[in-house]
Amino acid sequence: MPQKRASRQCVITGNWKMHKTIPEAESFVRTLTPLIESSQAKVCLAIPYTALSSLSELCKILKSFLILGAQNMHAMEEGAFTGEISGQMLIDAGAKFVLLGHSERRKLFHEDSSMIHQKVKQALINGLQPVVCVGESQEEHAQGKRKIILEEQIQDSLGGLSADEIVKIHLAYEPVWAIGTGKTATPQEAQAAHSFCRQVIESQWNKEVAQALVIQYGGSVNESNSAKLLEMSDIDGLLVGGASLSPISFSKIVNSVNL
Ligand code: PGA
Protein backbone atom coordinates (compact mmCIF):
# COMPACT_ATOMS: atom_id res chain seq x y z
CA MET A 1 0.00 0.00 0.00
CA PRO A 2 1.60 3.33 -0.98
CA GLN A 3 2.57 5.74 1.81
CA LYS A 4 -0.04 8.35 0.86
CA ARG A 5 -2.92 6.05 1.80
CA ALA A 6 -1.85 6.18 5.43
CA SER A 7 -2.33 9.93 5.62
CA ARG A 8 -4.93 10.65 2.91
CA GLN A 9 -8.04 8.70 2.21
CA CYS A 10 -8.57 7.39 -1.31
CA VAL A 11 -11.74 8.88 -2.80
CA ILE A 12 -13.49 7.66 -5.94
CA THR A 13 -16.19 10.01 -7.21
CA GLY A 14 -18.61 9.38 -10.02
CA ASN A 15 -19.87 12.42 -11.91
CA TRP A 16 -23.09 11.52 -13.68
CA LYS A 17 -23.47 14.95 -15.33
CA MET A 18 -26.94 15.27 -16.92
CA HIS A 19 -27.74 11.55 -16.89
CA LYS A 20 -30.21 9.28 -15.10
CA THR A 21 -33.81 9.59 -14.02
CA ILE A 22 -34.78 8.65 -10.45
CA PRO A 23 -35.62 5.00 -11.31
CA GLU A 24 -32.36 4.68 -13.27
CA ALA A 25 -30.40 6.16 -10.38
CA GLU A 26 -32.05 3.79 -7.88
CA SER A 27 -31.37 0.77 -10.02
CA PHE A 28 -27.69 1.83 -10.32
CA VAL A 29 -27.31 2.07 -6.53
CA ARG A 30 -29.03 -1.29 -5.93
CA THR A 31 -26.61 -2.96 -8.37
CA LEU A 32 -23.51 -1.08 -7.23
CA THR A 33 -23.85 -1.43 -3.45
CA PRO A 34 -23.08 -5.18 -3.11
CA LEU A 35 -20.28 -4.93 -5.71
CA ILE A 36 -18.24 -2.47 -3.65
CA GLU A 37 -18.83 -3.88 -0.17
CA SER A 38 -15.18 -4.62 0.50
CA SER A 39 -13.83 -1.40 -0.99
CA GLN A 40 -11.22 0.53 0.95
CA ALA A 41 -12.12 3.77 -0.82
CA LYS A 42 -14.55 6.48 0.10
CA VAL A 43 -17.09 6.25 -2.73
CA CYS A 44 -18.98 9.35 -3.78
CA LEU A 45 -21.54 10.10 -6.49
CA ALA A 46 -22.22 13.58 -7.88
CA ILE A 47 -25.75 13.13 -9.17
CA PRO A 48 -28.62 15.20 -10.61
CA TYR A 49 -30.46 17.31 -8.00
CA THR A 50 -33.70 15.43 -8.72
CA ALA A 51 -32.29 12.11 -7.51
CA LEU A 52 -30.69 13.35 -4.26
CA SER A 53 -33.61 12.82 -1.87
CA SER A 54 -34.66 9.42 -3.13
CA LEU A 55 -31.11 8.09 -3.35
CA SER A 56 -30.24 9.26 0.15
CA GLU A 57 -33.33 7.39 1.44
CA LEU A 58 -32.35 4.33 -0.56
CA CYS A 59 -28.77 4.42 0.76
CA LYS A 60 -30.15 4.39 4.32
CA ILE A 61 -32.36 1.38 3.52
CA LEU A 62 -29.49 -0.51 1.85
CA LYS A 63 -27.05 0.56 4.59
CA SER A 64 -24.83 1.73 1.75
CA PHE A 65 -21.79 3.84 2.59
CA LEU A 66 -22.08 5.79 -0.68
CA ILE A 67 -21.72 9.54 -0.23
CA LEU A 68 -23.99 11.68 -2.37
CA GLY A 69 -23.31 15.12 -3.71
CA ALA A 70 -24.30 17.65 -6.37
CA GLN A 71 -22.55 18.99 -9.45
CA ASN A 72 -23.09 22.71 -8.88
CA MET A 73 -24.80 25.27 -6.63
CA HIS A 74 -25.42 29.00 -6.45
CA ALA A 75 -23.10 31.33 -4.58
CA MET A 76 -25.85 33.12 -2.65
CA GLU A 77 -27.75 31.85 0.36
CA GLU A 78 -31.18 32.46 -1.22
CA GLY A 79 -32.98 35.02 -3.36
CA ALA A 80 -34.42 35.89 -6.74
CA PHE A 81 -32.28 33.55 -8.85
CA THR A 82 -34.76 31.68 -11.01
CA GLY A 83 -33.69 28.16 -11.80
CA GLU A 84 -30.81 28.05 -9.31
CA ILE A 85 -30.23 25.86 -6.26
CA SER A 86 -28.72 26.82 -2.90
CA GLY A 87 -26.28 25.00 -0.65
CA GLN A 88 -28.93 24.67 2.04
CA MET A 89 -31.32 23.03 -0.43
CA LEU A 90 -28.61 20.52 -1.35
CA ILE A 91 -27.98 19.67 2.30
CA ASP A 92 -31.72 19.36 2.77
CA ALA A 93 -31.89 16.83 -0.07
CA GLY A 94 -29.04 14.71 1.32
CA ALA A 95 -25.91 16.09 -0.40
CA LYS A 96 -22.65 16.01 1.52
CA PHE A 97 -20.40 17.53 -1.14
CA VAL A 98 -20.62 19.65 -4.27
CA LEU A 99 -18.44 19.77 -7.39
CA LEU A 100 -17.43 23.37 -8.09
CA GLY A 101 -15.69 24.82 -11.13
CA HIS A 102 -16.00 21.76 -13.33
CA SER A 103 -14.62 22.67 -16.76
CA GLU A 104 -18.09 22.26 -18.31
CA ARG A 105 -19.38 24.88 -15.86
CA ARG A 106 -16.41 27.14 -16.62
CA LYS A 107 -16.71 26.77 -20.39
CA LEU A 108 -20.41 26.29 -21.17
CA PHE A 109 -21.83 28.41 -18.36
CA HIS A 110 -19.08 31.04 -18.22
CA GLU A 111 -18.17 30.50 -14.57
CA ASP A 112 -14.88 32.13 -13.68
CA SER A 113 -12.66 31.49 -10.68
CA SER A 114 -13.99 34.49 -8.73
CA MET A 115 -17.53 33.07 -9.02
CA ILE A 116 -16.21 29.68 -7.98
CA HIS A 117 -14.53 31.32 -4.99
CA GLN A 118 -17.92 32.69 -3.84
CA LYS A 119 -19.49 29.28 -4.28
CA VAL A 120 -16.71 27.59 -2.28
CA LYS A 121 -17.31 30.02 0.59
CA GLN A 122 -21.08 29.45 0.48
CA ALA A 123 -20.64 25.66 0.36
CA LEU A 124 -18.42 25.80 3.45
CA ILE A 125 -20.94 27.98 5.30
CA ASN A 126 -23.57 25.34 4.59
CA GLY A 127 -21.36 22.44 5.66
CA LEU A 128 -21.03 21.03 2.15
CA GLN A 129 -17.60 19.79 1.12
CA PRO A 130 -16.45 21.63 -2.01
CA VAL A 131 -14.63 19.51 -4.61
CA VAL A 132 -12.91 22.20 -6.63
CA CYS A 133 -11.96 21.28 -10.20
CA VAL A 134 -8.94 22.80 -11.93
CA GLY A 135 -7.16 21.99 -15.16
CA GLU A 136 -5.72 23.38 -18.36
CA SER A 137 -7.38 23.35 -21.80
CA GLN A 138 -5.98 21.62 -24.88
CA GLU A 139 -4.61 24.92 -26.16
CA GLU A 140 -3.00 25.83 -22.83
CA HIS A 141 -1.57 22.32 -22.63
CA ALA A 142 -0.04 22.65 -26.10
CA GLN A 143 1.46 26.02 -25.12
CA GLY A 144 3.08 24.50 -22.03
CA LYS A 145 0.96 26.71 -19.74
CA ARG A 146 -0.29 24.00 -17.37
CA LYS A 147 1.51 25.28 -14.28
CA ILE A 148 0.50 28.90 -14.87
CA ILE A 149 -3.15 27.91 -15.29
CA LEU A 150 -3.20 25.63 -12.25
CA GLU A 151 -1.60 28.25 -10.06
CA GLU A 152 -4.00 30.92 -11.30
CA GLN A 153 -7.10 28.74 -10.84
CA ILE A 154 -6.07 27.61 -7.34
CA GLN A 155 -5.20 31.14 -6.29
CA ASP A 156 -8.36 32.70 -7.72
CA SER A 157 -10.74 29.98 -6.50
CA LEU A 158 -9.28 29.45 -3.03
CA GLY A 159 -7.19 32.55 -2.23
CA GLY A 160 -8.12 34.20 1.06
CA LEU A 161 -9.53 31.05 2.65
CA SER A 162 -8.04 30.02 5.98
CA ALA A 163 -5.97 26.86 6.43
CA ASP A 164 -8.88 25.39 8.43
CA GLU A 165 -11.15 25.96 5.44
CA ILE A 166 -8.68 24.53 2.92
CA VAL A 167 -8.47 21.21 4.77
CA LYS A 168 -12.22 20.78 4.29
CA ILE A 169 -11.85 21.03 0.50
CA HIS A 170 -10.90 18.43 -2.08
CA LEU A 171 -9.18 19.41 -5.29
CA ALA A 172 -9.74 17.62 -8.60
CA TYR A 173 -7.14 17.96 -11.34
CA GLU A 174 -9.05 17.52 -14.58
CA PRO A 175 -7.10 18.44 -17.72
CA VAL A 176 -9.83 19.67 -20.05
CA TRP A 177 -8.25 17.87 -23.02
CA ALA A 178 -8.73 14.55 -21.21
CA ILE A 179 -12.41 14.98 -20.29
CA GLY A 180 -14.69 12.77 -22.35
CA THR A 181 -12.02 12.38 -25.05
CA GLY A 182 -10.54 8.97 -24.20
CA LYS A 183 -7.13 10.71 -23.90
CA THR A 184 -6.16 10.15 -20.25
CA ALA A 185 -3.12 11.94 -18.86
CA THR A 186 -0.39 9.37 -18.24
CA PRO A 187 0.03 8.47 -14.57
CA GLN A 188 3.38 10.35 -14.61
CA GLU A 189 1.85 13.44 -16.21
CA ALA A 190 -1.05 13.46 -13.72
CA GLN A 191 1.37 12.87 -10.82
CA ALA A 192 3.45 15.90 -11.91
CA ALA A 193 0.34 18.09 -12.00
CA HIS A 194 -0.90 16.86 -8.61
CA SER A 195 2.49 17.38 -7.05
CA PHE A 196 2.54 20.91 -8.48
CA CYS A 197 -0.95 21.65 -7.05
CA ARG A 198 0.30 20.46 -3.66
CA GLN A 199 3.31 22.82 -3.96
CA VAL A 200 1.00 25.74 -4.74
CA ILE A 201 -1.11 24.91 -1.69
CA GLU A 202 2.02 24.65 0.46
CA SER A 203 3.33 28.01 -0.73
CA GLN A 204 -0.02 29.77 -0.18
CA TRP A 205 -0.93 28.05 3.09
CA ASN A 206 1.43 25.54 4.72
CA LYS A 207 2.98 22.11 4.41
CA GLU A 208 0.57 20.42 6.79
CA VAL A 209 -2.46 21.61 4.80
CA ALA A 210 -0.79 20.63 1.51
CA GLN A 211 -0.03 17.13 2.78
CA ALA A 212 -3.56 16.64 4.11
CA LEU A 213 -5.28 17.82 0.91
CA VAL A 214 -6.99 15.10 -1.13
CA ILE A 215 -6.41 15.60 -4.86
CA GLN A 216 -8.46 13.50 -7.26
CA TYR A 217 -7.62 13.00 -10.93
CA GLY A 218 -10.32 13.19 -13.60
CA GLY A 219 -10.34 12.85 -17.39
CA SER A 220 -11.18 9.61 -19.25
CA VAL A 221 -10.64 7.40 -16.22
CA ASN A 222 -11.78 3.84 -16.83
CA GLU A 223 -11.33 0.36 -15.39
CA SER A 224 -8.16 -0.21 -17.46
CA ASN A 225 -6.24 2.89 -16.34
CA SER A 226 -7.52 3.49 -12.79
CA ALA A 227 -5.12 1.21 -10.89
CA LYS A 228 -2.02 2.71 -12.54
CA LEU A 229 -3.18 6.26 -11.82
CA LEU A 230 -3.82 5.36 -8.17
CA GLU A 231 -0.30 4.01 -7.79
CA MET A 232 1.03 7.57 -8.00
CA SER A 233 1.94 9.08 -4.66
CA ASP A 234 0.02 12.36 -5.11
CA ILE A 235 -3.08 10.91 -6.78
CA ASP A 236 -5.49 10.35 -3.90
CA GLY A 237 -8.56 9.47 -5.86
CA LEU A 238 -10.41 9.66 -9.15
CA LEU A 239 -13.25 11.75 -10.57
CA VAL A 240 -14.98 9.57 -13.14
CA GLY A 241 -17.48 10.80 -15.73
CA GLY A 242 -18.50 8.44 -18.55
CA ALA A 243 -17.31 5.26 -16.83
CA SER A 244 -19.38 6.06 -13.72
CA LEU A 245 -22.65 5.61 -15.61
CA SER A 246 -22.44 1.82 -15.53
CA PRO A 247 -22.42 0.23 -12.07
CA ILE A 248 -20.21 -2.59 -13.37
CA SER A 249 -17.46 -0.34 -14.77
CA PHE A 250 -17.69 2.01 -11.81
CA SER A 251 -17.41 -0.89 -9.33
CA LYS A 252 -14.28 -2.11 -11.15
CA ILE A 253 -12.73 1.34 -10.80
CA VAL A 254 -13.70 1.49 -7.11
CA ASN A 255 -12.27 -1.97 -6.50
CA SER A 256 -9.02 -1.12 -8.29
CA VAL A 257 -8.14 0.81 -5.12
CA ASN A 258 -7.65 -2.53 -3.37
CA LEU A 259 -5.20 -3.86 -5.98
P1 PGA B 1 -14.83 11.66 -18.18
O2 PGA B 1 -15.35 12.93 -17.36
O3 PGA B 1 -14.43 10.61 -17.18
O4 PGA B 1 -16.02 11.23 -19.02
O5 PGA B 1 -13.68 12.10 -19.00
C6 PGA B 1 -14.70 13.35 -16.17
C7 PGA B 1 -15.38 14.59 -15.65
O8 PGA B 1 -15.86 15.40 -16.44
O9 PGA B 1 -15.47 14.79 -14.42
Nearest Cα neighbor of 134 from 119, 146, 118, 121 is 146
Whether 174 is catalytic: yes
Mean local confidence (pLDDT), 57-66: 95
The set of protein residues with a Cβ atom below 6 angstroms from ligand 1 is 15, 174, 179-180, 218-221, 239-243
Query: Is residue 229 within 8 Å of residue 235, measured between CB atoms?
Result: yes
pLDDT band at 62 (very low <50, low <70, confident <90, very high): very high
Q: How far is the CA of 102 from the centre of ligand 1 (A)?
A: 10
- Measured distance CA(174)–CA(133) in Å, rounded: 6
- Measured distance CA(98)–CA(19) in Å, rounded: 17
Mean local confidence (pLDDT), 176-187: 92
Which pLDDT belongs to residue 4?
58
The closest-lying atom of ligand 1 relative to the alpha carbon of residue 240 is 3
pLDDT at 3 over 60: no
Of 19, 220, 222, 244, which is best to mutate to test ligand 1, by the most ligand atoms within 8 angstroms of its C-beta?
220
Q: Provide the terminal-to-terminal Cα distance of the chain, rounded to the nearest Å.
A: 9
Which pLDDT belongs to residue 186?
95
pLDDT at 6 over 90: no
Which pLDDT belongs to residue 1?
40
pLDDT band at 7 (very low <50, low <70, confident <90, very high): confident
Radius of gyration of the chain (CA): 17
Which tens digits make up the pLDDT trace of 193-221? Answer: 999 999 999 999 999 999 999 999 999 99
Burial letters 180-192, b for 16+ CB under 10 A, else e: eeeebbebebbbb
Looking from the CA of 68 toward its CB, the CA atoms found within 13 Å total 24
pLDDT at 2 over 90: no
Which tens digits make up the pLDDT trace of 80-125? Answer: 999 999 999 999 999 999 999 999 999 999 999 999 999 999 999 9
Whether 102 is catalytic: yes
Nearest Cα neighbor of 238 from 258, 218, 224 is 218
The closest-lying atom of ligand 1 relative to the alpha carbon of residue 239 is 9
